[in-house]
Amino acid sequence: MESENTIVFKVSRIYLPQYLEGEFFIYVKDGVITQITRENHTRNFIDLTDYIVAPGFVDVHIHGFEGFDVSNGGMDAVIEMSNRLPKTGVVAFLPTFVSLPFENLIGKLKEIDLGYKNFKAVPLGVHIEGAFINPKKKGAMDERFFLEGNVELAEKLIQFGNVKMFTVAPEIPNALNLIRFLNSRNIKVSIGHTEATFDEVKEAYANGADSITHLFNAMAPFNHREPSVIGASFYFDFYLQIIADTHHTSKYVLKLLKPYSNRVVLITDAIEATNLGEGIYKLGGFEVYVKDGEARLSNGTLAGSVLTMDRGFKNLIQYGNFSVEEAVKSSSLNPLKSISELSFGEIKENKLANFVCLDESYTVRKTVIKGKIV
């Protein structure tokens, strides 16, 4: 007999992430999976047998969504993103900052409260992309606000306890000291917006950096004599953040990534324009023009994306030839492993009941967060 606060889901096709088929019952108490069994102990269950059930999507690199941008809107934007992202299968995310004046960034970080009780998709921490990077690979960010690898400045940025990840260019002054410091504070370092050589990336990896920010984009190109950050990304055991929109990363390159699917981390790099159609929007202080599924500055530079995790998931399968299980891992478990978050990402006992319900075309139909359909 289950207790009053136990919720039971009946499923027939489930990715744990490995695939199982048959009649299963998932018991959830206080948001946590307590049992997965073939035995039916109750008549009171939520029937999900029409769907393919998989771990919910996690986006560790997202600036905005549906008119809201964390760099401009701070906590208000985080709440709105939290409310809106579940329709795309997202159960958790890292709101990601572009470059801002230092005091503005401090102000925004101060107001982001991860303890807020009414989140739907849960912000697991902040990703600061636009601080410690190379102006020669600035992408769509304002280089006036870039910083050298200053540990004292980093200490100020992490003082509120809500920063989970920094993007760092290993070649900027004092970068290795910064990487070592962040690693000592259990803050993840992703290499990006960089002209680093293979050897510079090797040193960064040895000192604790273990992800690559939007691989292939805003970095020195691969060369067979100087493999650069791209070569090092594959040579060493980095998590590989991929914007699978077929604009930032060609559909042919997605297929080349299949052998590395155990390290692929699907991201969106989405901006406020996402899900709003073509038009003129903002990213940081810049106007962004969205047309034909691309977001660009007036000079043609790609400026984030309008990708959603559910579309990226489909693209990994359709263009990358990923198996569904590989795409599931790249969209859920791998992103969480890349930030050392192990409380969910798999449908198994003692994990949070965070999952997505997909139809036969892998379109999101329902999203479950801590045992509740949201």
CATH number at residue 322: 3.20.20.140
- Do 48 and 63 have their domain in common? no
Please identify every residue annotated as catalytic: 269
Measured CA distances, 192 to 91, 136, 241, 272 (Å): 25, 12, 10, 22
Q: How confident is the model at residue 374 (pLDDT cuts 50, 70, 90)?
A: very high
Binding-site residues: 129, 140, 193, 214, 217-218, 225, 248, 302-304
Q: How confident is the model at residue 2 (pLDDT cuts 50, 70, 90)?
A: low
Q: What is the mean pLDDT of residues 121-139?
A: 98
- Do 78 and 226 have their domain in common? yes
Block residue for tokens 């400026």: 303
For residue 242, tell me if it sits in a domain.
yes
68's enclosing H/E stretch is strand 68-69
- Burial label, 5 (beta-carbon count in 10 A; 0-12, 13-18, 19+): exposed
The neighbouring-strand residues paired with 62 are 95
199's enclosing H/E stretch is helix 198-206
- Total domains, the chain: 2
- Do 296 and 236 have their domain in common? yes
Strand bridging mode 64-65 / 68-69: antiparallel
- Do 152 and 190 have their domain in common? yes
Binding-site residues for Zn(2+): 129, 193, 214
For residue 301, tell me if it sits in a domain.
yes
For residue 343, tell me if it sits in a domain.
no
Q: Tell me which residue range forms the domain holding 365.
A: 6-54+349-373
- Do 87 and 208 have their domain in common? yes
- Do 299 and 178 have their domain in common? yes
- Do 15 and 107 have their domain in common? no
Using a cut of 0.85, tell me whether the model's pTM lies above it.
yes
- What CATH number did the domain enclosing 19 receive? 2.30.40.10
- Do 369 and 331 have their domain in common? no
For residue 134, tell me if it sits in a domain.
yes
Write down the mean pLDDT value for the chain. Answer: 97
Q: Which two tokens stand for residue 68?
A: 């809201």
Block residue for tokens 């559909």: 251
- Do 163 and 28 have their domain in common? no
Block residue for tokens 């269950």: 45
Q: What is the mean pLDDT of residues 185-214?
A: 99
- Do 264 and 299 have their domain in common? yes
Please determine, for residue 4, whether its predicted confidence score (pLDDT) is greater than 80. no
For residue 344, tell me if it sits in a domain.
no
Distance CA 103, CA 107 (A): 6
Q: How confident is the model at residue 1 (pLDDT cuts 50, 70, 90)?
A: very low
For residue 277, tell me if it sits in a domain.
yes
- Do 80 and 37 have their domain in common? no
For residue 275, tell me if it sits in a domain.
yes
- The answer to whether 328 touches 356, Cβ cutoff 8 Å, is no
For residue 1, tell me if it sits in a domain.
no
- Report pLDDT digits (tens) over 149-163: 999 999 999 999 999
With pLDDT > 90 as the criterion, what percentage of the chain qualifies?
97
Q: Where are the beta strands (DSSP E) in 88-153?
A: 90-97, 122-123, 126-132
Q: At what angle do helices 228-235 and 198-206 cross, to 10 degrees?
A: 40
Binding-site residues for substrate: 140, 217-218, 225, 248, 302-304
Q: How confident is the model at residue 264 (pLDDT cuts 50, 70, 90)?
A: very high
- Do 197 and 82 have their domain in common? yes
